[in-house]
A = this chain, B = another copy of it.
Amino acid sequence: MPIPTIKYYLREGLLPAGAATAANQADYGEEHLRRLLLIRALIDVGGVSVAAAREVVAALGAHADDPLELLSAAQTAVTPRHRPDRETPEWHTAKQRVLDLIAERGWLVYPLSPEIDLVADALAAGGSLGVTELFDNLGRYADSAASLAAVEVRTVLDRPDPAARMELVVLGTVLGEALFSALRLLAHQHESARQIGIPDAPPQKNPETAQ
């Protein structure tokens, strides 16, 4: 890993200083390396901002024994920072639709969860452009999200010790999103090719040569 990157993380308060061994040298242990890999995973792979990564790292220190606080910090990290207009009637209709979905399915979520508003943001933005399909497919999106989340939470609980679980909450939230997001885009390609057909690119007969 490039030294300037490490220095940058130190300056930004993402990484604690090492044990000084000389005027311009410091010793970094196993814990430091692990923290460094965590930060890179969040920023480089998860696309999380430096500020958000700092919050996640702080939460890992402060709430190491509180899964819900940690979940909330990880969730905030993967949430975009801009806020669209929420004072329109269309937005309130969209939000009601989300609350109805939650009630119908009996989802146990905090009624003030910011994610409820984020779902409404996407529905309302689509609605303002005539994309009513997001409303129509809301249940299908919820089905996919629910079945994936059930696996992910079960996977966290399968870890034997609490500290290891906490780390998977953070990494699973961020890396799982990156993983799913890229797989969805690949699946779009496949489904487009399958449902429309690609005249200029016949299906690979021999996928081994595809690298």
Which residues of the partner chain B approach A64 to less than 8 Å between Cβ atoms? Answer: none
Question: Is A208 within 8 A of B103, CB to CB?
Answer: yes
Which residues of the partner chain B approach A171 to less than 8 Å between Cβ atoms? Answer: 126, 129, 131
Which residues of the partner chain B approach A68 to less than 8 Å between Cβ atoms? Answer: 192, 198
Q: Is the interface of A mostly helix, strand, loop or mixed?
A: helix
Chain B, Cβ-Cβ closest to A100: B207
What 0/1 pattern do residues 49 to 64 of A give for CB contact below 8 A with B?
0000000000000000
30 A-B pairs with C-beta separation under 8 A: A37-B125, A44-B82, A44-B84, A44-B125, A45-B122, A47-B80, A47-B81, A75-B188, A79-B182, A80-B178, A102-B210, A103-B208, A108-B193, A113-B186, A115-B186, A116-B186, A118-B178, A118-B181, A126-B175, A129-B171, A133-B155, A142-B187, A148-B184, A149-B184, A149-B188, A149-B190, A149-B191, A153-B191, A153-B192, A153-B195
